[in-house]
């Protein structure tokens, strides 16, 4: 019978960058006991975001971080800087990536491809603990 | 028992910019009577899009609008301009942001963070009324 | 009564560009027999992605492809190039667009707007067959 489950996953980032939480998301799916369904991952912030990216090569992640620093740089022509020079770039990098991802679940696991990992993309230097809302529905 | 509900929400934009419809999305959730589930918001257009952004500082929204004007400018090297100079930039800015968002619902409310608002991002100067499809499933 | 269905849809791309698979997604919905619900489309790759875009004008699609070549160019300052010069740009263009889309279903069809098509955005010159996971829940 169809059912659902949800939780808030806290993640502590240590400065800007990509933080892989694929295993934690998979553990939530496993604990739900749901074999087939749909998993949703939602970031409750506007200065941190989500991306699904290459899980193998650290150089690819460094390039990704460098790219977003170039297209949404600090020291840009921003009116809003209440929380410092990394404030507005954080919002822009969040808008350009994802706040939410939904992934089908089959055989008790998200159907991620071989090279796909789920990452929190932290954009602030000094950020509070981040909260990721997880939800699954299925059977 | 799990159930679902859906509707089409019309939004009238007055020129390019961000239009907060968080309250309308929350009202749809409340009216559904669903306490725990997943809300999906879908924009039925390719020249307007969705973003979750800072709901407090108007300056942050102005910076966001200015940023997308810079990276996907009018007067670019576009082949497609059937509907004028703001036609192709509208498609690009839509592709760079979101057409759809799904947000877990707990206690009868979307689990948005304190500073998160749901915005229609209108990219055209003269647009028809926009349609946002809302869907919720849960119990 | 609520139920769900899922499948893996293979797509063979022939070089970089946009590949419309709206009809295949609609056929999956029709075959499920679900009249009202939510369809999720998930790309199992980090060097190909998804976009909902203009389904009518080929020039708009060419402009979109050209735009992403400009903002995430080959020959950039990349550390990661294990699989050649189109490797890292592919990851960046994927991060800037979508890995997943969810679309409400009404009357047995996704509620796409008149001008919306669902596209695989292939970023690599020589890519393996791509896999799109489809999932629907509803009744």
- Would you state the structure tokens that stand for residue A5, as one six-digit string? 């489950």
Number of folded domains that form chain C: 1
Residue B3, classified by CB atoms within 10 Å of its CB into exposed (0-12), middle (13-18) or buried (19+), is middle
pLDDT greater than 90 at residue C77: no
pLDDT score of A54: 92
Q: What is the ipTM of this complex?
A: 0.97
pLDDT score of A76: 78
Closest CA to A45 of A132, A118, A103, A119: A132
Report chain A residues whose CB lies below 8 A from the CB of C139. Answer: none
CA distance C113 to C53: 10
CA distance C117 to B44: 10
pTM summary value: 0.98
Closest CA to C90 of C133, C57, C66, C121: C121
Residue B80, classified by CB atoms within 10 Å of its CB into exposed (0-12), middle (13-18) or buried (19+), is middle
pLDDT greater than 90 at residue C5: yes
pLDDT score of C81: 87
Q: Which of B2, B38, B102 sits opposite A2 (nearest CB)?
A: B2
Which residues, listed in sequence order, are joined to residue C122 by a DSSP beta bridge? Answer: C17, C48
Residue C81, classified by CB atoms within 10 Å of its CB into exposed (0-12), middle (13-18) or buried (19+), is middle
pLDDT digits (tens, 9 = 90+) for C22-62: 999 999 999 999 999 999 999 999 999 999 999 999 999 99
Instruction: Evaluate whether C29 touches C136 at the Cβ level (below 8 Å).
Output: yes
pLDDT score of B75: 87
- Cα C135 to Cα A36, A105, C57, distances in angstroms: 10, 9, 29
Residue-range definition of the domain harbouring residue A123:
3-75+82-138
Residue C19, classified by CB atoms within 10 Å of its CB into exposed (0-12), middle (13-18) or buried (19+), is middle
C3 to chain A, any CB pair closer than 8 A? The answer is yes
Closest CA to B4 of B38, B44, B41, B27: B38
Chain CA centroid to CA A127, Å:
15
Q: How many CA atoms lie within 13 A of C102 on its CB side?
A: 27
Q: How many CB atoms lie within 10 A of CB B30?
A: 11
pLDDT score of B122: 98
Report chain C residues whose CB lies below 8 A from the CB of B100. Answer: 52, 101-103
pLDDT digits (tens, 9 = 90+) for A42-94: 999 999 999 999 999 999 999 999 999 999 999 878 999 888 999 999 999 99
CA distance C81 to A98: 25
CATH of the domain at C40: 2.60.120.460
pLDDT digits (tens, 9 = 90+) for C112-138: 999 999 999 999 999 999 999 999 999
B48 to chain C, any CB pair closer than 8 A? The answer is no
Chain B closest CA to A138's CA: distance in Å?
Answer: 11
Mean pLDDT of chain B: 96
pLDDT-derived band at A125 (thresholds 50, 70, 90) equals very high
Sign for the pseudo-dihedral over CA of C93, B71, B81, C74: negative
Instruction: Determine what percent of chain C is predicted with pLDDT higher than 70.
Output: 100
pLDDT score of B53: 96
Residue with tokens 């679900």: C34
pLDDT score of A22: 98
Chain B closest CA to C2's CA: distance in Å?
Answer: 7
Instruction: Evaluate whether C9 touches C24 at the Cβ level (below 8 Å).
Output: yes
Instruction: Evaluate whether C49 touches C41 at the Cβ level (below 8 Å).
Output: no
What strands, in cross-sheet order, belong to the sheet with C100-106?
C3-11, C130-138, C37-43, C100-106, C109-110
User: Which of the residues in chain B have pLDDT under 50?
Assistant: none
Which residues, listed in sequence order, are joined to residue A106 by a DSSP beta bridge? Answer: A109
pLDDT score of B81: 87
Which residues, listed in sequence order, are joined to residue C101 by a DSSP beta bridge? Answer: C41
pLDDT digits (tens, 9 = 90+) for B36-48: 999 999 999 999 9
A133 to B111: CB separation less than 8 angstroms, yes or no: yes
pLDDT digits (tens, 9 = 90+) for A83-113: 899 999 999 999 999 999 999 999 999 999 9
Q: Which of B62, B64, B66 sits opposite A95 (nearest CB)?
A: B64
Mean pLDDT of chain C: 96
Give every CB contact of residue A114 below 8 A, 6+ residues apart in sequence: none
Q: What angle do CA B30, B117, A133 make, to 5 degrees?
A: 75
The predicted model gives C81-89 an average pLDDT of: 91
């Amino acid at each position: 019978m169809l059912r659902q489950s949800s939780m808030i996953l806290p993640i502590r980032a240590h400065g800007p960058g990509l933080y892989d939480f694929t295993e934690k998301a998979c553990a939530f799916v496993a604990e739900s006991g749901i074999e087939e369904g749909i998993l949703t991952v939602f970031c409750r912030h506007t200065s941190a975001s989500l991306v699904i990216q290459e899980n193998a090569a650290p150089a690819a992640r460094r390039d990704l971080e460098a790219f977003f620093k170039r297209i949404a740089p600090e020291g840009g022509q921003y009116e809003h800087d209440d929380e410092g020079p990394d404030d507005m770039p954080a919002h822009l990098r969040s808008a350009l990536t994802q706040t939410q991802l939904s992934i089908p679940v089959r055989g008790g696991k998200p159907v991620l491809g071989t090279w796909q990992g789920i990452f929190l993309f932290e954009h602030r230097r000094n950020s509070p603990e981040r909260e990721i809302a997880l939800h699954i529905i299925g059977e």
